[in-house]
Structure 1
């Protein structure tokens, strides 16, 4: 069984330093009815907490008290409770339900309550962390171990993030790196604003396309645009100055590669159907669909 990815048109890039972002356009058929997790967390119609008083590193408990489903994105960061986490996969949580969601720790040095409930940091994992996360989850699903990640690999990538950007953190928290570079992140966001009508975005560092994200409607892309950019900023800063840039054709090639991959269906964590694929060279892709509409599809390119 395969997933029906929509046909895309790749728009002209906007650039700042080593970072290029390409808006992606596709036909929209109304989309799926949901709220994003950050908005639902903010008004407390969505509660995220440890699964028990003692907690469990790879799982969190989610209660959606609202009347509409809620979307979490793979790689988004949740902060608070015993330690900060990131989502291992994109999840649609049905209205008025409780479920467990698979997560990874991005704060190795803390295991004590800061708050009962989690909140959204407004940040998203950099591409190297996303690649490690998606690759290990793909492997776990093949081995029938659910959506578990390689936690050691996640910690390794977070440690590299601290080292590469000269940030010390008493708890090895990824969020401390983002806080330390808040001014630079805002600079990139100001230079690389959302492009009207885009339903997705491709990110390139220098001449390499590193990630593609596609959503079911432009309004979702607009709301998460700045969040996705936050992680890409660190890829760009690490790359430094460059005079080589990826082209529209480079993005089209990665998208075409993803479309032709042998997609396999796997059990979704919440509502909908999940599909995953990988290329021989190491590109990893996933898609969460609901009623034959791709709500969130993403590709992280091979190193």
Structure 2
């Protein structure tokens, strides 16, 4: 009898001690689960999503490939270059320096436009200021732009003044990207174009400004000496992604310093854009060329840390269209521009990382 009483007493004692502890633990677990996540923060860190290979180097340019899971399997886009060449899209001059209009004429194909693409012609050459997906039979859609040719405001040669004939080049230099995407200053864009032209002239051994339009960055990129010098970089590095079906993007360093990175939701989209991306990186490497200088190599871990830091930055949102949203993240030293397509299954379409 005494033993039964003792057991009951012990049972009551244990229940009194353990029950509050269990409730406390459950309460703590629920509180943890309710902690808010950063708005639009990627679900996992960069190092969980990507594998980085490289560096692959030529002169002062080091390229890293970024591997990951394809988020848009089976979905394809025409690039702006392809669509203009096939006459499936028209980019219209609006006579507003910082705004153009674009129309997709095709019946079925979507057109992917990337911030930094240069369109040639019109009243002035422009660089497009945002990423955009233009649906089939879109009608005219406004798109932000920056002039990369100061002074001209008339037809040039045999080009059309009412629309733009081609898009074969991208803006080169980190400073130009920052001017267009962070400060959004037309004056700063012109200043950085002139600075790039001056550096290119010094490093290729001839004046690269074209007499047809002295300030045109497009015509500078068409300069024979610039093309030949950039082609040496392209020939050395163009093949590096050929054997990898999981490459989604790349990062690059110039003179031993991380510069930028671009990552896409699909391997097919990256492969279409790779030639123009690599050429732009090559042109920037030529711009910053320091002959006979040696640099400490950048490591894959440093590239991963660069991507992670940019992704952790404070976020702001902007609707480009009803379909396309731009998320800008900025840390003390890096910027991430993330393009989201609300109609796609993946969380993002393109990420552009820029070292300040």
TM-score, scaled to structure 2: 0.76
Separation (CA, whole Å) in 2 of partners of 1:155 and 1:199: 32
1:153 corresponds to: 188
2:146 corresponds to: 104
Where do 5+ consecutive residues of structure 1 fail to align?
Answer: 137-148
Flag the structure with larger Rg: 2
Q: Of 219, 244, 263, which residue of structure 1 is paired with 2:268?
A: 219
SS of aligned partner of 1:24: strand
Distance of aligned partners of 1:60 and 1:10 in 2 relative to their CA distance in 1, 3 Å threshold: same
Q: CA RMSD in A?
A: 1.8
SS of aligned partner of 2:152: coil
Separation (CA, whole Å) in 1 of partners of 2:196 and 2:310: 28
Distance of aligned partners of 1:3 and 1:47 in 2 relative to their CA distance in 1, 3 Å threshold: farther
What is the deviation of 1:260?
A: 1.5
TM-score, scaled to structure 1: 0.89
8 Å contact from structure 2 (residues 337, 351) kept in 1: yes
After superposition, residues 1-303 of structure 1 pair within 5 angstroms as 1-4=39-42, 7-31=49-73, 32-51=75-94, 55-66=95-106, 67-97=108-138, 98-113=140-155, 114-115=159-160, 116-126=162-172, 127-136=174-183, 149-166=184-201, 167-170=208-211, 171=213, 172-180=215-223, 181-193=226-238, 194-195=240-241, 196-197=244-245, 198-237=247-286, 238-241=288-291, 242-244=293-295, 245-269=297-321, 271-281=323-333, 283-290=334-341, 291=344, 292-302=346-356
Q: How many residues align?
A: 286
Where do 5+ consecutive residues of structure 2 fail to align?
Answer: 1-38, 202-207
SS of aligned partner of 2:124: coil
1:74-125 CA-to-partner distances (Å, cap 9, x unmatched) read 1111101111100111111122112010000001131112313313342111
By relative contact order (CA 8 Å, sep 6+), the higher-ranking structure is 1
